[in-house]
Amino acid sequence: MNSRVILITGANGGLGQAIARAFLAESPQNIVWLGVRSRREQAESASRESPDRCRLLDLEVTSAAAWHLGVQAIVGDCQRLDVLVNNAGQHQDGLLAQLSWNSWREVLSANLDSTFLGCQAVLPTMISQRAGRIVNVASLSALLAPAGQTNYSAAKAGVVALTRSLAKEVARIGITVNAVCPGYVQTGALADLNEEARAAALSRIPMRRFGQPEEIAAAVRFLACPEASYITGSVLKVDGGIL
């Protein structure tokens, strides 16, 4: 496979790190840029292990200016950008009746605005290349909309709709845009659930186990691979059979 230049946002968390490893393993020539902001220990460690192929990028994903500078830095260094994985996100759960305006706005911004800004920032480069892959990490919450996640579900549902709409806009330019909807994944966020909540979650999963970050990363990498050239506007659930 030819070398590719990949940018992954939210690259410090368990899922971001797994996605980075998947692309590094895909080809010894790939260069993976890890978009991070405040939390960066895992990303720094990955970058130290493969300094030639794994680079840190300070990126405030809710800032258009930061995105512009970040993409400029990548293209200045590598002369191309082949894959964007919009993985950054956050949730602040609570019942809508008690949710603060800040909780609503921050979650919409971190999940949906960031995806919009990221896509807009990379498109000129990908249009110029007449090639590109954008994979947006949404969530099963976009489709199931569980109670206590009106903000997160709305944001991720927005990511799904943005994905499908943008895919149509850029399809004939050789750019594919797809979304992955992970279900319950064994990451730090799941560790916050108490025993009762974990048992309840497991009982809803036909596979009776949580997903591993590597399993989600494999789906992301598949949608971004050259062989997925006729797949665009798709929403791939990776959920152990819940939906």
Partner 1 sequence: MMVENLMLQVPTTEIADDQPLFGPGSLGLDSVDALQLVVALEKHFGLKIPDPAAAREILQNVGTIVSAVQKKLAGAA
Residues of this chain that bind partner 1 (CB under 8 A): 124, 127-128, 169-170, 172-173
Q: Taken in order 35, 37, 41, 44, is the CA torsion positive or negative?
A: positive
- For the bound state, the minimum distance from the C-beta of residue 219 to partner 1, rounded and expressed in Å, comes to 28
Closer Cβ to partner 1, 148 or 174, answer by number: 174
- For the bound state, the minimum distance from the C-beta of residue 130 to partner 1, rounded and expressed in Å, comes to 8
Q: Which of 23, 116, 152, 210 is catalytic?
A: 152
Closer Cβ to partner 1, 49 or 169, answer by number: 169
Q: DSSP per residue over the chain, as a string? A: ----EEEESSTTSHHHHHHHHHHHHH-TT-EEEEEESS--HHHHHHHHHSTTTEEEEE--TT-HHHHHHHHHHHHHHHS---EEEE-------B-GGG--HHHHHHHHIIIIIHHHHHHHHHHHHHHHHT-EEEEEE--THHHH--TTBHHHHHHHHHHHHHHHHHHHHHGGGTEEEEEEEE-SBSSHHHHTS-HHHHHHHHHT-TTSSPBPHHHHHHHHHHHHSGGGTT--S-EEEESTT--
- For the bound state, the minimum distance from the C-beta of residue 128 to partner 1, rounded and expressed in Å, comes to 5
Closer Cβ to partner 1, 124 or 146, answer by number: 124
- For the bound state, the minimum distance from the C-beta of residue 165 to partner 1, rounded and expressed in Å, comes to 13
Does the active-site annotation cover 152?
A: yes
- Backbone φ and ψ for 177, nearest 5 degrees, come out as -135, 120
HSE toward the beta carbon, residue 102, CA cutoff 13 A: 0
Closer Cβ to partner 1, 27 or 128, answer by number: 128
Closer Cβ to partner 1, 5 or 36, answer by number: 5
- For the bound state, the minimum distance from the C-beta of residue 224 to partner 1, rounded and expressed in Å, comes to 22
Catalytically active residues, by annotation: 152
